[in-house]
Each structure stands twice: as C-alpha cells, then as structure tokens.
Amino acid sequence: MADNLMWYVVHTYSGYENSVATAILKAAENRGMQDLITEVNIPVETVVEHGDEGDKTVERKIFPGYVLVKMVMTDESWYLVRNCRGCTGFVGSDGKPIPLTEQEVLGLGVEHREYTVGFDVGDTVRIIDGPLDGFLGTVDELDPAKDSVRLIVSMFGRETPVDLELDQVEPVKEE
C-alpha cells in the first residue's frame, strides 16, 4: 500500500490552509484511514519583514490557497479530502486528481532524500546512470545538501567537469 503513496495538491479557500490540513488529518484518524492519508504539508518560506518597529522574521505560505496531501488515492480517501470544510477540490484535469512527480516534490522541498555518501573529494567513482554510464571520474566537489557531486571525467583525452546527482555515482571498490 505504501508504494501507492503520492503527493496531491488540494485547493482551499484562501486563509483556510491550516484548518483544512488539520481537518484532513483528524478525519483520517477518526475513520482509521491513517494508512491512506499519511501526511499533510503547507509549503512555507521564512522571510524577514522590515517595519517601523524593526525587522521581524515571519513564515509566509509559498502557495496560498493550496495544501499538499500525501495519500493513496481511493474513492474513500478522495471523498474524505474533498468533503473537508474549506476544501474546494483537487488540482487536476477533468476532476481527476493528478499526483506530483518526484521532481516536483523535491523541488517544493516537501521531502528530502538522504544519502550515505561512501566517497570524498579526490576519490574515484563510477557513473552508474545517464549518458556517461560506466565512465570513471574523480570527485572534484561534493554537496550532499544539494544532492550533487562534480566529477572530473577524462573524455577524448581531455579532463571534463561533469555535474551529477549523488545517486548517479558509486565508489569504485579497491581490489
């Protein structure tokens, strides 16, 4: 069942995001549907507002009027979310909810992947995905927070920098 968990966007009345999020979670709990509706998220950003009384840090909704729900789409879960007070429906075409792609989810910062990096700057790694699959390269820069690694790969007798994601490379085993 967990394989079918996807993030969906729910449209709400503006200003009702928090109450809709709470209502969805409470309704799922009351109906024993926590396995179908697991998370509700309201993307926010922290900004500094400059005012007469000085600067203050506030959280501002990135997408006012929208709530993200991680759920398994069934008739029951759709009905539960759709009928929460303040909810106007799912984002999608022809009334059919469309789940967010993995790239959209990562771009929104709703979920973060965690990798155990088994290599460091200066180590040799093998590219295991993409057009350079099978090539070896030397790690030049490593940024786990941004899920990126820069390699120096020798192609056609020239040293070429290549930017990849961490899951596209693996350490070369010393034999």
Q: Are residues 19 and 86 in the same domain?
A: yes
Give me the pLDDT at residue 20, please.
93
Closest of 161, 124, 118 to residue 139, by C-alpha: 124
In this predicted structure, the answer to whether residue 121 has a pLDDT above a threshold of 70 is: yes
Fill in the amino acid letter for 61. K
Residue 128 in contact with residue 136, Cβ under 8 Å?
no
User: CB 151: neighbour CB atoms within 10 A?
Assistant: 23
58 shares a domain with 138: no
Domain that holds residue 49: 2-108
* Residue 25 pLDDT class (50, 70, 90 cuts): very high
pLDDT surpassing 60 at residue 131: yes
CATH at residue 8: 3.30.70.940
CA distance 59 to 53: 18
The mean per-residue pLDDT over the stretch 62-76 comes to 91
Using pLDDT thresholds of 50, 70 and 90, give the confidence band for residue 50: confident
Asked if residue 132 and residue 99 are part of one domain, the reply reads no
pLDDT of 172 reads 85
28 close to 20: Cβ distance less than 8 angstroms: no
Distance in angstroms (rounded) separating the CA atoms of residues 110 and 153:
33
Residue of 47, 150, 43 whose CA lies nearest to 104: 43
In a domain, 7, yes or no: yes
